[in-house]
Amino acid sequence: MFALLPFCVFAQQSIDQRVEELLSKMTIEDKIGQLNQMDGRRDVEKIKDEVRRGTLTSIMNIVDPAVTNELQRVAIEESPAGIPLLFARDVVHGFNTVLPIPLGMAASWDEELIEAAARNTALEATERGIRWAFAPMMDIARDARWGRIAESFGEDTYMAGRLAAAVVRGYQGESLSDQTSMAACAKHFVGYGDAEGGRDYNTTTIPPRTLRDVYLPPFKACVDDGCASIMTSFNDNDGLPSTGNRWLLTELLREQWGFEGVVVSDWGSVAGLIPHGVAHDKRDAAQQCIVAGCDVDMSSRSYLLHLKDLIEKGEVDEAVLDEAVRRVLKLKMELGLFEQPYARTAEKSDIYSEEVLNTACRLAEESVVMLKNESVLPLGEDVKRVLVVGPMADAPYDQMGTWALDGDKTHSVTPIMALREEWGDRVVIDYIPCLTHPRDKSTAEFKKMQKAARKADVVLAFVGEEQMMSGEAHSLSSLDLQGAQSQMLEAVAEVDTPLVTVFMAGRPLTIARQVEISDAILYAWHPGTMGGKALANIIFGKSSPSGKLPVTFPRNVGQIPIYYNHKHTSHRAKGTEGNLDSIPREAYQSVMGHTSSYLDVAPSPLFHFGYGLSYTTFELSDIAIEKTAVTADDTIRVSVVVKNSGTREGTEVVQLYTGRKTASVTQPMKELKGFQRVTLAAGESRKVEFELPVSRLAFHNRDMVLAVEEGKYTLWLGTDSQNGLKTYFKIIK
């Protein structure tokens, strides 16, 4: 054993020098062991045996520091190479303190707060020995049927890149060697969110230009921000599974982008080449994936079982193995594991600390999107009696959402808990759940609910999805409310008492009817540990809603995929189509409309990207652009005056979009290129300024070259993707 020496002998050497010296002393078995990652949810003594043999580089899903420290001791003191382990976890949106799901975080449009919350998450997780987080996920998601849309930052490329990079900075801190930092892992590389029909793990068919302009840029943003690792995706694209795609993992990621970190497969996706039908067995899969550039095999043992034989028979060059091992060793050294291998100890625990909880509450507040308000919210002093109904009013586990592996439901603050604690001393709060969970079909308590509603000043209905209805392997063919939730809302709406409907879900649901019968709508996603307090604050006006949709809401499932930045088409819908009942019978004998639309639903979405209301109102004026003619190397400077024209403080998200009609290849109608949150007192005005590098307008042209094209562009500054002020500029030579 030789790994105790680097602590002192390598102290004055660079990490690269240390890696080379260590690598030179390793056997082929030692090296292969550094590429094998396994699940730790099994007998600890059996894991110890594997660690002693040096067959593990990383262990997932152990969060007990006593266990991780003992396994680490075995690795350092008893394994052949004495190399420390790296403990990993799917830390997706919070650790013990669960944050809103990433789709909810994106609704805040607040990258600074997201970064701060991610930093808190790292503090909690590293206290448990976790130094590698399998997040952020920046798959572009335009199909709400896909369960993992909950883990995404929505449908927009630019937004996904900015918010994912914020998570990377939060997890990794100022230095990976800081014991409070975790290595981030950008996933899933690439195109996973475009699975056919929204069916998880399914195939994708993304053309090269769309892949480069839409799906790859968020990963490039994370690479540029120093993300330590990247995870491959389960899907194939155009016939090539990502984990075995050399063009993707080596030619693009490493040679073109200059990525020097670790590439890890998703769970079992090395062996996944077998059911994909491109590998005969695990041996074949291991050969394809290691050569393609996948460094670490998560859980399939394909490398462990077959790499030595592949190298001995000349089917894999040992230099390929060495390169992968170098990257793994470098990451471990950058994390400081050779000097500080054990879980950090804190004088005062950060887990569920006041600061961590307050940040989670603030993020949950900013994530709530108000979709409708007929002068009902916030509840005022005239409200003396409130009826709370619905299965999500007191669902401490479900409100945490998917991938809340380490969240403790006993710490969740539910809406009914917060309402009673914060407002129960001045408002009578009646609570009739009616349904025990979102799929409950019982109508037994509806009459009781209606009777109580007649006595109340307002009804607060909390509906949505339970935790298991979104996330990995939880796709849906219908986005309607499950169980008897719709019937419950219809029944309470029959009473004339104002109805506020609060949705807590992992995806956009088809809620057109609920919007129609409700007086106010709050969309809270799955808001995490502090979701109830955040909602209570908003409902009673302690804070004002400021969330904006990061994804388009369809009117029905048949509209999917529907997203704001769709391409120009030759037969664009006019916005008046979609009323089947208005078409005379004789019209069926001829072509109708000549537009790209449906006969039975309007071409517009129910709610468009970037939409969200406030308790105050905002006005934009005086849009001004510094130069109307710029070059490809220039920066566009544009401003707009934002005024809070209402009666209370509020926050608006000013959004910058650009678009052009004519180019060498078809273009989106408009694209988000910038955004800023602006908080203003009642009556206050402020000039909001943007600097937009012209390089941000580049796209892959007809020759598949990333370039900025000359011509006329439109620039919008607005409060959502459909409403705002516009100006024009030209790009010239």
Tell me what the mean pLDDT of segment 157-184 comes to. Answer: 98
C-alpha dihedral over 231, 235, 239, 243, to 10 degrees? 20
- List, for residues 96-116, the tens digit of each pLDDT value: 999 999 999 999 999 999 999
Percent of the chain with pLDDT over 70: 97
pLDDT exceeds cutoff 60 at 719: yes
Pick from 196, 170, 197, 164: nearest CA to 182 = 170
pLDDT tens digits, one per residue of 68-81: 999 999 999 999 99
What pLDDT, on the 0 to 100 scale, is given for residue 6? 43
Query: Is it the case that residue 626 has pLDDT exceeding 90?
Result: yes
Return the higher-pLDDT residue of 347 and 622. Answer: 622
Q: What pLDDT is recorded for position 594?
A: 77
pLDDT of 642 = 98
What rounded mean pLDDT belongs to the chain?
96
Q: List alpha helices for 335-462, DSSP H.
A: 354-367, 415-423, 446-455
Residue 593's pLDDT is what? 65
CATH number of the domain at 618-731, please?
Answer: 2.60.40.10
Pairing of strands 635-644, 458-464: unpaired
Does the pLDDT of residue 95 top 70, yes or no? Answer: yes
Does 237 score more than 60 pLDDT?
Answer: yes
pLDDT at 578: 77
Residue 423: CB atoms within 10 A of its CB come to 17
Tell me: pLDDT of 712 over 90: yes
**pLDDT tens across 34-66, in order?**
999 999 999 999 999 999 999 999 999 999 999
Q: Quick check: pTM over 0.95?
A: yes
Q: Quick: pLDDT tens for 476-511.
A: 999 999 999 999 999 999 999 999 999 999 999 999
| Of the listed ranges 104-118, 404-418, 454-468, 589-603, the one predicted with least confidence | 589-603
- The answer on pLDDT for 512 being more than 90 is yes
Q: Which residue has the tokens 């919070």?
A: 94
Could you give the residue ranges of the DSSP H alpha helices within 79-177?
A: 102-108, 111-127, 157-172
- What's the pLDDT score for residue 587? 60
Q: Locate the domains of the chain by residue range.
A: 6-89+184-334, 618-731
pLDDT of 599 > 90? The answer is: no
Assess whether pLDDT exceeds 80 at residue 270. Answer: yes
* Distances 407 to 4, 64, 116, 123, 396 between C-alpha atoms, Å: 36, 14, 19, 15, 10
Location of structure tokens 């129910």: 606
Say whether pLDDT at 571 is over 50: yes
Contacting residues for 447 by C-beta, under 8 A, at least 6 apart: none
pLDDT band at 581 (very low <50, low <70, confident <90, very high): confident
Confidence of residue 592 (pLDDT cuts 50, 70, 90): low
* Structure confidence by residue, pLDDT tens digits, 643-670: 999 999 999 999 999 999 899 999 999 9
4 pLDDT tier (thresholds 50, 70, 90) = very low
Residues contacting residue 686 through CB under 8 Å, at least 6 positions apart? 641, 642, 678, 680
Instruction: Give the pLDDT of residue 588.
Output: 56
pLDDT higher than threshold 70 for residue 12: no
SS3 462: strand
Query: How many residues in total does the chain contain?
Result: 733
What is the mean predicted confidence (pLDDT) over 379-390?
A: 97
Flag the least confident range among 113-117, 427-431, 600-604.
600-604
CATH fold for the domain made of 6-89+184-334: TIM Barrel (3.20.20)
Contacts of 233 (CB under 8 A, 6+ apart): 139, 187, 188, 189, 190, 191, 192, 242, 243, 266, 269
**Which amino acids are annotated catalytic?**
266
pLDDT at position 590 is: 59
Residue 1 banded pLDDT, cuts 50, 70, 90: very low
